[in-house]
Structure 1
Amino acid sequence: MNLFMVFIAQHKGESVQITPEIDIDQATHAAIQQLRNESFPKHQVARSYYKQCPHLRLLAYDGDTLTGHLGLDYRRIRVGDSVLKVLGVIDFCVREQVRGTGIGSAMLTYLNQYAQSRAVDFIMLISEHETFYRKHGFQNIAAQHHWLMIHEHQNFGIGHHWLNDLWVCSIQGAPWPDGEIDWLGYLY
């Protein structure tokens, strides 16, 4: 039995689903916005995403209450001479009252299983939570990055910076290639 199924058995009423962004209704957007803004108080916005709308949403519920959220962006990126298929995690958050109960771990397990049955090389995200992501098989990558700088729906050009907070998890077992990282889009 996987971690998510154990979690469901221990927490009656919990469910997780992945939903295409285009299918998210207004009530769900409002619940995501509230959870996101509570979780990231220094980065509050009047919408359910921070920089750019994700392609998919992974949502965790306890009954009708949204307890966890993460946005997902599927794209190609370039690392050195390699082109990778990545599933990027955006705005990963769990309701404060239930943090530490295994919801975040269950969400990552569910995401990993979802990615394994699809054309995904790596799951990737940016975070300062080293212990949590190492525990879930993520590797820290420090490298030069290039990305489209977006703020409040405006393009401000290409950013070129060294970043230390990138975490990647190989889905097919391949090692992360060496080289500069071109996001071929915005930074998660």
Structure 2
Amino acid sequence: MTLHVSPESLPALVLNADYRPLSYYPLSLWSWQDAIKAVCLERVNIVSEYDRVVKSPSFEMQLPSVVSLKSYVKPTGNPAFTRFNVFLRDHFECQYCHSRDDLTFDHLIPRSRGGRTTWENVVTACSPCNLRKANKMPKDINMWPTQMPYRPSTYDLQANGRKFPPNHLHESWMDYLYWDIELEP
């Protein structure tokens, strides 16, 4: 029986050579086609497979559910300064009221007062808080972020990303996603 597999289904979790995901949020996933291509090019090892097979006239293969890179990819030391990474650093919540709706970012020292758009001066804020703070200094309006802005490491962002699991987690992935989390007694 040949199964018709859509490109959006049955992705493969991609692990580094040390068996840790390349990234947690977004989770490092490849389409089944990319996973098969990497296997054929001998760039990855198959760690786990789905119970599904793809076939062609000259080829048959179980779809990989977890693959590991054969060569270790060193994580970047300094994550890019992007809106998404600021939100991830700040746990996708307003640093003033903890809302998770209508997020934007706020300059702690407003740009109109010489503040720069840097890791150390930008926090996640909801639109109402951002409008309320406007171009005022935190001390002038007594409006302080829960967490002062800082430059996160790749490790910081990965640790935060583990707190936001994707909607679809295949059972074969579980041992590789959360193995380095401290266990409760």
Q: TM-score, with normalisation over the residues of structure 1?
A: 0.22
Larger radius of gyration: 2
TM-score normalized with structure 2 length = 0.22
